Chains A and B, each alone.
Chain A
Amino acid sequence: MKKRMNDKLLILIFSVVILAFPLILAPTGAAYPDLMQRFAIYGIFAIGFNILFGLTGYLSFGHAAFLGVGSYAAMWMFKLLTMNIFPALILSVLIAGIFSLLIGFISLRRSGIYFSILTLAFAQMSYNLAYSVLTPLTNGETGLQLRLDDPRVLDTVVDAGSLPSTNLFGLEMKHVFWNPEILGYNLQFNYGFYVCAALLILSFYISVKIFRSPFGMMLRAVKTNQTRLNYTGISTRPYTLAAFVISGMFAGLAGGLLATMDPLAGADRMQWTASGELVLMVVLGGSGTLIGPVLGAIFIRYFNSVLSQINEFTLHAWFSFGPEWMTNLLVSIVDPFVGEGWELTLGALFMLVVTFLPGGLVDGGQRVGRWITGANRRAAKAREA
């Protein structure tokens, strides 16, 4: 009988770790609010996708569309109603939900590869809609931005000369409320990250609940053997559609949060390579596991930010230990993978993970854990005996 960690304990540990991010990440240099906020936002995005892909095995290639829709919805709320993020987030979740209901209803008529291709086509269609066709709504190529003459009917004008910033009932998202010096690191605690972190913990809680519920069990049954379910007389469509819509709403929430971080929504967020990156996050972390998607999202975001900053000079400094020809050789090998070449690393990583570690980081960690504790050897002995 496999032992499973107590769910309450898991959520508690998860919450503590996430809330302590500014402290934990300080030594890695990733503890600036912007990046941590991205960790949390993409964590939410990945958790949502995992509910669809990890549980039902339906591989959607179009979730970036929901992210984009969420961003646009939030932006319109900022422009028309108020800079308070609360209504904006609610609207982005709702709109993304409706949008995913429509797309899911059509896409889920097919399964397997057809489903992937259909979602891909829908995502590309949404991208084209946002990029050119629906320009009055999305401001096309430039992207939707805040302007001074936006109505914002609920807000009182404090400073007419500058663009207002996003807030949650008066707490400004970008405001750093505590800036202590601990262990020689300058820590920054800001509201934006804690809003995202709270929502991430909430998402994680919902995902745990779904995983343990009869509904989650049904979704897993879809992945294992859908034909059998159909022959038992159960229609799987409502379940898969529900999973699709839930994951779409998570994506919408993530999109809305991205807009609260930086009030701007562009069509490039909806490109299908963005969906591909999401899939990679979930697969890298471990699809179908609870903690995997968050791990994958943090991993990818972290390396994205680290690798993008490296340039040829930093590489030369790193590899300066050997003779000059060796330095040049190493630099010329590594250089295509860093800085501008992040996409190349991403693609290569994708292939390596899918080929050698289909279970993702969580699976890899478990394997290493078993190897250390000798569980495998004991199991083998038990089989022999």
Chain B
Amino acid sequence: MDAIFLQILNGLDKGSAYALIALGLTLIFGTLGVVNFAHGALFMIGAFVAVTLSKVLAISKVVLDPERLDFLGNPAKIKTPYVIEWFGSFGEWMIDYTIPLSLLLTIPIMIIIGVVMERGLIRHFYKRPHADQILVTFGLAIVLQELIKIFFGSEAVPMQTPDTFTGALDIGIWFGFNPGSVIYPYWRLVYFFFAAVVIGGVFSFLRFTTFGMVVRAGMADRETVGLLGINIDKKFTIMFGVAAAVAGTAGAMYTGVNQPVFHMGMDFLVLSFVVVVVGGMGSLPGAVAAGFLLGVLESFASMPGVKNAFEAIGLPSIDQIIIYLVAVIILLVRPRGLMGKVGVMEE
């Protein structure tokens, strides 16, 4: 029982990332009708905004201390990051909380990147076939990924979570399991709550604001909204920026879960597409639900017990491919996905 509970928790953080990326994908798809293959790259860029911030904060002033010698006999170099020198303990706090602080940067940067991307490139592809849209965003994804590789190298960059949230929480005792049976890192819990807040925020933004109402109306019938004298294109452009920001913040926070590396976007992209298709193209709740569902399923398949059970009947373990298998089965049984409408984007 506790093992199952642990796997559900383990699935939640990956599921959160899937759900956030899939949410952005669906948002772009529902408003602009474009399949954005560069969405994984946006996730990755968000992560590297956090990396950049941590590098900037770590820029240090080097002072030679003649009293102390290092092992070569030269004066020891004492490095103090400038932020600590300028702000004292507030500077230390800033370095400690790099990842959450990076959200302040990520959101405006990602909105700008999203708007530039839509106005500069994707706008020209609305009237082109879907294949062209896929191809051009695919090309963009490669370019962005390679640029990041040039600047940050191909190695994974280690990132520190804030001290308060390092370590793990014995979450099992809350639910009446034996102490030590369900241990869960704090940061993953933070990530899950963060995802919940973002998802809730996007939904309430669409549901309870006038802007959101107009966007939803535009998703339902773009032409009529346009005829009513509303500049729907501009609103959709902003929604593209919002979707980019969702992906970017998801990436920035994910640096605390896994070390960011230049190909992380591509790794998540394929799975996020599967999530979108399983959830039902164009359905926001479907994307979120499918994201969590597939994340949890994946972690169940990697349970030692399940692996052993498969080996016992002579099958290799399927944790690497379970998501794809489930996607195939769902598409065979229910082609429009879990919550999708019939005939969306079928040509």
Contacts and interface: CB of A to CB of B under 8 A. Distances in A.
Is the pairing of A and B real?
Answer: yes
Interface of A: 53, 57, 59, 61, 106, 109-114, 116-118, 120-122, 124-125, 128-129, 131-135, 226, 272-273, 276, 279-280, 283, 336, 341, 343-344, 346-351, 354-355, 358
19 contacts: A57-B131, A59-B135, A111-B346, A112-B130, A112-B347, A116-B130, A124-B324, A128-B321, A128-B324, A279-B138, A336-B146, A341-B146, A343-B146, A344-B146, A350-B142, A351-B121, A354-B132, A354-B135, A355-B136
Nearest to B273: A117
B183 interface: no
B142 A133 contact: no
A109 B332 contact: yes
Interface in B102-139: 121, 124, 128-132, 134-136, 138-139
Q: Chain A contact residues: over half helix, strand or loop, or mixed?
A: helix
Contact of B136 (A109, A129, A341, A351): A351
A240 B322 CA distance: 28
Interface of B: 35, 121, 124, 128-132, 134-136, 138-143, 145-147, 150, 266, 270, 273-274, 276-277, 281, 316-318, 320-321, 324-325, 327-328, 331-332, 335, 345-347
A347 B141 contact: yes
A336 B132 CA distance: 26
A59 B129 CA distance: 11
Contacts, number: 129
Contact of B281 (A53, A59, A113, A135): A113
B328 A121 contact: yes
Given A116-B134, A358-B132, A128 B143 contact: no
A272 to B, nearest CB: 7
A347 B136 contact: no
Contacts of A135: 316
A354 to B, nearest CB: 5
Contacts of A132: 320
A140 to B, nearest CB: 11
A106 to B, nearest CB: 6
Contacts of A106: 328, 331-332
A106 B146 CA distance: 33
Contacts of B274: 117, 121
Contact of A124 (B131, B270, B331, B332): B270
Contact of B331 (A118, A131, A349): A118
Contacts of B128: 358
Given A131-B320, A276-B142, 13 more contacts: A122-B324, A133-B320, A133-B321, A279-B135, A283-B135, A343-B142, A344-B142, A344-B143, A347-B139, A347-B143, A347-B145, A350-B136, A350-B142
A344 B270 contact: no
A354 B345 contact: no
A116 B327 CA distance: 14
Nearest to B320: A128
Contacts of A110: 331, 335, 346
Q: Which of B139, B321, B324 has the most CB of A within 10 A?
A: B139
